[in-house]
């Protein structure tokens, strides 16, 4: 059988602004028809460049310096635009990363799928509309005839992802490249869609290349795995083998950092004897009123208690109400029913001015480290801002406090002079944590603190948070959709679904012996469990 | 960071020599990439030349802009008269330089007025929101509905002709642009995470506005201001072209071009060359604005 | 939807009323004695009149009423279609406008059409070509269009095409030939704006993920640009057309002056020179009305172009 993809010693570099960046350095691999290959790597590994090269979509600033890149027997490393165009859609299909922005907002679904079908057949043909509806049905959309007339913004994320799969299948390709298929949607939704994709692909004998940073996905779905780092392939082989007995130290590092595989460090137990809860929700509910007299119930009868030095994790998918509960705790929203107590004080009815003194004891670390720091503030200014706002320290003492905070988050003091754009995502998150600790709060609220970061960086930040809790005795309320993150930090877990509590209790019990069906669904949807459990 | 680096960081003494970097130094760092673009430098030089000519035109020419010399009328451009002469024998290049003062003055006044009012309205509208926002935006809509030139004409009808009324008239017409841009920026920044973080860290609204919102909103407003100086120059020239500017023998650029209309067939340079100078100045201003914008992106 | 429509119309009327009021107050409230202004506009000197004649004049111009009283009087007249009497031409303003408006509308109409074709065409071309020098040149061209004053451009065009090549007449309002140069002059600033905005739009849209999806389907460059990029990049253009009405009217005043055309533009220029207040007020009001109307149409047309905009209350 001839190979579908044959890459030999490929070298790709980017030339812009007088600088040359080597993205791919001498990569070689192959793909047989009908196989599933996972290319695993973190940001900067070159996997995205590789995917673009396979599609013939490298930007003008990129250059193939050396090597051979053959798709379906044709060498496209120096081919004309026309020949590359002929391969796209008909031989190589793409399922893009983020379904929310990958569809043209001004064209109907039917027309966008129709385009691919027309390209396949060479021109418009009478059965086009019927074929569109048939395809929509195959990818699992309800009421396909209606969906074909709708526009992307009328569909949910999961539905849009299915439409993108339909577009890729419409071209009847021999190979589909799935770019980061697990990053944009809820875990349970992702799992269902990927299962379905696997089915469709196997049924038609289409080869699948999965580009991902998530080893779990590679473990679950790939026949073979390619691990990339900084433009080079560090390891490749059968999935089972690479993941159970990795040869290269980097692969071992990735495995150790991925919570589904490595020995997940657990939080240290905290003595509770006779302590009062720091934060308590008693039957808290929140209803948002909508235009035209309707209302939306974000939370219903939520009870929880956070004890000093402990971590409570609130787990749920989008729409579960977890962000709303954080906002209520912070005083950004007021509960519609029930009571919220902080250190014994009822905070549910306080206005902003009354709440302000409490802010010294309760701080927030936000989700997106790339927007959490004012781009014009130096790190020093960002970190000490809470101290300045409350007028607690001045001059020399302020500088000392800044140095001390940087030490706590394990960043060198020289970074205090820098601007946020000079720091990486992980470093910025550390700065955000330092800023949150400036006032020496008793409670830290963490909103998806590591979801925007690379796997290995995630592990570092989680380690840092664990150490800080042990050192400073800070309590955490952690909101996350990622059960692996939760497992590494939480003492108590609350599982939410559409505003209601599904299950809550000790972390160990909820995560290892869940009682409710939904919790079990969530656990099963975590990629990598198949291989880990085996 | 490797494990070793982490251990080292912890072992460092608490009182190492470190002070916050000066703000001036950071400003100079920003100016660097701008000066490396040749187009930007040329444009900047032309604008500076015009500014200096506006303040001290006698530095660049020895002719008298008002001295008539009928024997030398309507001479084409030559080495002694760079732009030629007009129908009264006055050196055109000199007239253009002296006219710079009036035009630049009017334009700066107009933009200054628009900046203060527009910025204020935009900030209040974006920051406070609610009813006040709706009212201010309706007001801006009303101003927008009145075409710039016609609004200026109405103001000039009422106040009278001259450089100051023209400046006020043009300024009022530019206010909506500033108000809307500022408001859009304030709205955008207000919802960003770092503003929320500052508020949660105890910052008052005043501090948030001054230290976070305004400095980050400044960029597009500065670009718009530079572009509007050019637009104001064009607008004031238009008004003086129509005859509403300073009375003759004042040498406002629009008046010069209007004058030359009558001699278009025989001596086209009388209209066209001052206009060309005007075009170059406005083009340079626009280029500077665009370069700012590119660098910010 | 109809609730939205009513709301928008109410808003439009409100804005129009606001525009009328502001102009009224500017003209009648600002320094300068309205009586002497109006008298000199009619060709009389205030000093040459006796007190009784002054009193008669005052009541004739309606200046014996208070500011507010006169305001409501005039407003009532406007609602009935009476825009007052021109001081200099001594005819009802409505009549004068009816005579001169068609000329200006023809000019503006042709100019808007030319500017759209020119602006969109330029930006499309700039996005399509791949040869860098040409691409950069086309991208810089709109900037030049911004820097050129309308009146100077008109003179330049007259010099080249009328006096130099003799293809078109330099002045006058007769026939289509005389419309070409003025429309072209008027079109250039708007075309520059459209070209600039569309170029930016293309630049932004070209980087969007759905363009990658389009490429991945196997479409050619021309197809991707036409079907996916253009449809999205051109969305802001509709709003712009609405906003450009104001600039077109302003430009018309200058263009009609240079080309000596009998339109409303030149009318208002003469009116301002002679301080004919009722005429100025009427012309400004009509322009504001045109602006408001066009923008209302644009608002209502938008959902057809952009399916995300539905004018229904949103649920977040």
The pLDDT tens digits for A436-465 are 999 999 999 999 998 888 877 888 899 899
Let me know if B178 is exposed, middle or buried by CB neighbors in 10 A (0-12, 13-18, 19+): buried
CA-CA distance, A188 to A524, in Å (whole number)? 8
* Residue ranges in chain C whose pLDDT is less than 50: 313-316
pLDDT at A533 (0 to 100): 46
At residue B17, the pLDDT reads 45
Domain boundaries, chain A: 98-172, 279-285+296-372+441-533
**C-beta atoms of C151 and B241 within 8 A:** yes
User: What is the mean pLDDT of the segment spanning A161-176?
Assistant: 93
Higher per-residue confidence, A222 vs B153? A222
CATH domain A279-285+296-372+441-533 topology: Rossmann fold (3.40.50)
- Confidence class of residue A117 from pLDDT cuts 50, 70 and 90? very high
Mean pLDDT (whole number) for A491-513:
89
Asked if the Cβ–Cβ distance from B257 to C152 is below 8 Å, we say yes
Q: What is the pLDDT of residue A78?
A: 86
CB distance from A293 to chain C under 8 Å? no
CATH topology of domain B33-63+74-296: MetI-like fold (1.10.3720)
Q: What whole-number distance in Å separates Cα of residue A211 and Cα of residue B89?
A: 77
Q: What pLDDT, on a 0 to 100 scale, did the predictor assign at position C314?
A: 41
Residue C215 contacts A, CB cutoff 8 Å: yes
CB A455 within 8 A of CB A257: yes
Q: Where are the alpha helices (DSSP H) in B191-268?
A: 193-200, 205-207, 214-241, 253-260
pLDDT band (50, 70, 90) for residue A262: low
Closest by CA position to C279, among listed C287, C288, C271, C289:
C271
A483-513 exposure pattern, b = at least 16 Cβ within 10 A, e = fewer: bbbbbbbbbbbbbbbebbbbbbeebeebbee
**pLDDT at B5 exceeding the cut of 70:** no
Chain A residues with CB inside 8 Å of B193's CB? 366-368, 371-372
Q: How far is it, in rounded angstroms, from Cα A383 to Cα A406? A: 9
Is the Cβ pair B201, A371 closer than 8 Å? no
Q: What is the pLDDT of residue C112?
A: 92
Share of chain B above pLDDT 70, in %: 90
Calculate mean pLDDT across residues A116-132. 90
Confidence of residue B22 (pLDDT cuts 50, 70, 90): low
Residue C284: Cβ within 10 Å count: 27
Tokens of C148: 């050129």
Provide the mean pLDDT of chain A. 88
- Is the pLDDT reported for residue B12 higher than 70? no
In the prediction, which pLDDT does C34 show? 67
Let me know: does C257 contact C266? Beta carbons within 8 Å: yes
Instruction: Name which of A495, A183, A189 is nearest A320 in CA terms.
Output: A495
Q: What is the pLDDT of residue B26?
A: 65
Q: Which of B26-30, B151-155, B184-188, C263-267 has the least mean pLDDT?
A: B26-30
Contact A63, A250 (CB under 8 A): no
Structure tokens that stand for B108 in this block: 């700066």
What residues of chain C lie within 8 A of the CB of B171, using their CB?
none
Chain B residues inside the 8 Å CB shell of A431? none
Name the pLDDT band for A260 (thresholds 50, 70, 90): low
Q: What is the pLDDT of residues B24-43, one digit of tens each?
A: 666 676 677 777 788 888 99
Query: Which of C201, C209, C217 to mutate: most A Cβ within 10 Å?
Result: C217
> For testing the chain B interface, which of A389, A395, A467 should be mutated: the one with the most B CBs within 10 Å?
A389
pLDDT tens-digit readout, A35-72: 999 999 888 888 889 999 999 898 888 888 888 999 98
Helix, strand, coil percentages, rounded to 5, for chain C: 75, 0, 20
pLDDT at residue A379 in the model: 92
Residues 6+ apart with CB under 8 A from A388: A398
Residues of C in contact with A102 (CB under 8 A): 209-210, 212-213
**CA of A391, closest CA in chain B: separation in Å?**
10
pLDDT digits (tens, 9 = 90+) for B79-116: 888 888 888 888 888 888 888 888 888 899 999 999 99
CA distances to A77, A93, A190, A362 from A211, rounded to whole Å, are: 20, 13, 15, 40
> pLDDT at position A206, please?
93
User: Most distant CA pair in chain A: distance in Å?
Assistant: 79
Q: What is the mean pLDDT of residues B215-225?
A: 86
Q: Do B242 and C149 touch (CB under 8 A)?
A: no
Tens of pLDDT, residue by residue over B80-90, are 888 888 888 88
pLDDT at B16: 44
pLDDT of residue C316: 33
pLDDT at residue B11 above 60? no
What's the pLDDT score for residue A389?
A: 92
A→B interface, C-beta within 8 Å: 330, 356, 359-360, 363-364, 366-368, 371-376, 378, 380-382, 385-386, 389-390, 399-400, 403-404, 407, 410-414, 416-417, 432, 435, 438-439, 460
Supply the pLDDT for residue B9: 46
Which chains touch A (3+ CB pairs under 8 A)? B, C
Q: Rounded to two decimals, what is the model's pTM?
A: 0.82
Q: What is the model's pLDDT at position C280?
A: 85
């Amino acid at each position: 059988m001839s190979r579908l993809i044959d890459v030999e010693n490929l070298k790709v570099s980017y030339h812009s602004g007088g600088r040359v960046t080597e993205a791919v350095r001498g990569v070689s691999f192959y793909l047989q028809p009908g196989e599933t290959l996972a290319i695993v790597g973190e940001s900067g590994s070159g996997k995205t460049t590789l995917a673009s090269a396979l599609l013939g979509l490298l930007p003008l600033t990129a250059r193939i310096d050396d090597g051979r890149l053959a798709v379906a027997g044709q060498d496209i490393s120096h081919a004309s635009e026309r020949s590359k165009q002929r391969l796209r859609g008909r031989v190589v299909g793409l399922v893009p990363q983020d379904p929310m922005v990958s569809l043209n907002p001004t064209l109907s679904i039917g027309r966008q799928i129709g385009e691919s079908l027309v390209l396949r057949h060479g021109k418009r043909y009478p059965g086009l509309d019927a074929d569109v509806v048939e395809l929509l049905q195959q990818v699992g959309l309800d009421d396909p005839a209606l969906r074909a007339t709708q526009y992307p913004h009328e569909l949910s994320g999961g539905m849009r992802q299915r439409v993108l799969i339909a577009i890729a299948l419409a071209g009847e390709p021999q190979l589909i490249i799935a770019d980061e298929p697990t990053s944009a949607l809820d875990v349970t939704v992702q799992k269902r869609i990927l299962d379905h994709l696997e089915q469709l692909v196997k049924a038609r004998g289409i080869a699948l290349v999965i580009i991902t940073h998530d080893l779990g996905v590679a473990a679950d779905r790939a026949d073979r795995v390619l691990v990339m780092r900084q433009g080079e392939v560090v390891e490749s082989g059968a999935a089972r083998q690479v993941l159970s007995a990795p040869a290269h130290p980097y692969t071992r590092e990735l495995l150790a950092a991925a919570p589904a595989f490595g020995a997940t460090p657990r939080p240290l137990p905290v003595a509770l004897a006779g302590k009062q809860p720091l934060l308590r929700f008693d039957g808290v509910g929140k209803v948002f009123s909508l235009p035209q007299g309707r209302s939306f119930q974000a939370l219903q009868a939520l009870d929880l208690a956070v004890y000093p030095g402990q971590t409570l994790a609130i787990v749920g998918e989008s729409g579960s109400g977890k962000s709303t509960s954080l906002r209520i705790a912070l005083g950004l929203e007021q509960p519609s029913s029930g009571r919220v107590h902080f250190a014994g004080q009822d905070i549910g009815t306080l206005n902003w001015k009354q709440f302000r003194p409490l802010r010294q004891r309760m701080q927030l670390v936000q989700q997106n480290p790339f927007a959490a720091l004012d781009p014009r503030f130096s790190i020093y200014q960002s970190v000490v801002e809470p101290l300045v706002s409350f007028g607690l320290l001045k001059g020399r003492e302020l500088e000392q406090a800044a140095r001390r905070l940087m030490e706590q988050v394990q960043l060198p003091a020289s970074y205090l002079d820098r601007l946020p754009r000079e720091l990486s995502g992980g470093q910025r998150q550390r700065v955000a944590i330092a800023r949150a600790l400036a006032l020496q709060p008793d409670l830290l609220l963490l909103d998806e603190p590591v979801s925007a970061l690379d796997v290995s960086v995630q592990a570092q930040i989680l380690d840092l948070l664990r150490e800080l809790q042990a050192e400073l005795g800070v309590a955490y309320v952690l909101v996350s959709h990622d059960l692996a993150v939760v497992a590494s930090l939480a003492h108590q877990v609350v599982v939410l679904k559409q505003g209601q509590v599904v299950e809550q209790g000790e972390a160990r019990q909820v995560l290892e012996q869940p009682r409710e069906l939904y919790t079990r669904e969530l656990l099963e949807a975590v990629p990598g469990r198949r291989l880990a459990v085996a | 960071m490797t494990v070793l680096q982490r251990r080292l960081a912890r072992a460092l003494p608490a009182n190492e020599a470190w002070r916050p970097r000066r703000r001036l130094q950071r400003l100079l760092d920003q100016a660097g990439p701008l000066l490396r673009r040749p187009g930007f430098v040329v444009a900047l030089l032309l604008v500076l030349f015009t500014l200096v000519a506006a303040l001290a035109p006698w530095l660049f020419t020895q002719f008298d802009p008002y001295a008539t010399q009928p024997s030398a009328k309507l001479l084409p451009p030559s080495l002694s008269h760079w732009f030629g002469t007009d129908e009264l024998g006055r050196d055109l290049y000199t007239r253009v330089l002296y006219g710079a003062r009036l035009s630049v003055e009017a334009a700066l006044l107009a933009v200054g007025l628009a900046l203060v009012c527009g910025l204020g309205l935009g900030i209040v509208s974006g920051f406070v929101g609610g009813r006040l926002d709706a009212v201010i935006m309706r007001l801006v809509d009303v101003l927008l509905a009145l075409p710039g030139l016609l609004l200026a004409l109405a103001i000039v009808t009422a106040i009278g002709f001259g450089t100051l009324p023209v400046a006020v008239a043009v300024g009022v017409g530019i206010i909506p642009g500033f108000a809307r841009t500022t408001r859009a920026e304030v709205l955008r920044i207000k919802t960003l995470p770092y503003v929320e973080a500052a508020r949660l860290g105890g910052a008052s609204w005043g501090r948030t506005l001054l230290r976070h919102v305004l400095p980050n909103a400044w960029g597009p407003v500065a670009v718009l201001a530079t572009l509007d100086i050019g637009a104001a120059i064009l607008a004031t020239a238009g008004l003086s072209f129509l005859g509403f500017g300073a009375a003759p023998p004042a040498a406002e650029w629009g008046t010069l071009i209007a004058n030359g209309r009558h001699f278009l067939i025989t001596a086209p340079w009388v209209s066209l060359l001052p206009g060309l100078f005007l075009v170059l100045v406005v083009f340079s201003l626009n280029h500077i604005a665009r370069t700012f914008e590119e660098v910010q992106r | 939807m109809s609730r939205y429509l009513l709301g928008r119309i109410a808003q439009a009327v409100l804005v129009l009323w606001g525009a009328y009021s502001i102009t009224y107050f500017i003209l009648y409230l600002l320094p300068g004695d309205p009586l002497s202004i109006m008298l000199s506009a009619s060709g009389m000197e205030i000093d040459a009149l006796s007190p009784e004649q002054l009193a008669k004049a005052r009541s004739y111009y309606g200046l014996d009423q208070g500011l507010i009283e006169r305001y409501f009087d005039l407003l009532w007249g406007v609602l009935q279609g009476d825009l007052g009497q021109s001081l200099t031409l001594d005819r009802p303003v409505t009549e004068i406008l009816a005579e001169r408006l068609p000329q200006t509308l023809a000019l503006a109409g042709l100019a808007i059409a030319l500017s759209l074709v020119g602006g969109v065409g330029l930006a499309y071309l700039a996005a399509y070509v791949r040869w860098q020098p040409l691409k950069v040149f086309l991208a810089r061209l709109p900037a030049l269009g911004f820097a050129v004053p309308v009146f100077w451009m008109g003179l330049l065009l007259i010099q080249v095409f009328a006096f130099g090549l003799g293809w078109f007449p330099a002045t006058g309002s007769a026939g289509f030939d005389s419309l070409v140069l003025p429309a072209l002059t008027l079109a250039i600033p708007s075309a520059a704006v459209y070209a600039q905005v569309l170029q930016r739009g293309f630049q932004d849209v070209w980087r969007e993920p759905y363009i990658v999806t389009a490429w991945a389907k196997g479409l050619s460059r021309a197809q991707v640009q036409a079907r996916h990029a253009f449809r999205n990049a051109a969305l802001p253009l509709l709003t712009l057309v609405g906003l450009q009405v104001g600039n077109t009217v302003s430009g018309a005043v200058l263009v009609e002056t240079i080309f000596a055309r009998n339109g409303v533009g030149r009318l208002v220029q003469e009116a301002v020179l002679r301080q004919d207040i009722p005429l100025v007020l009427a012309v400004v009001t009509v322009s504001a009305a045109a602006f408001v109307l066009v923008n209302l149409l644009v608002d209502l047309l938008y959902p057809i172009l952009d399916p995300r905009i539905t004018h229904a209350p949103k649920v977040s």
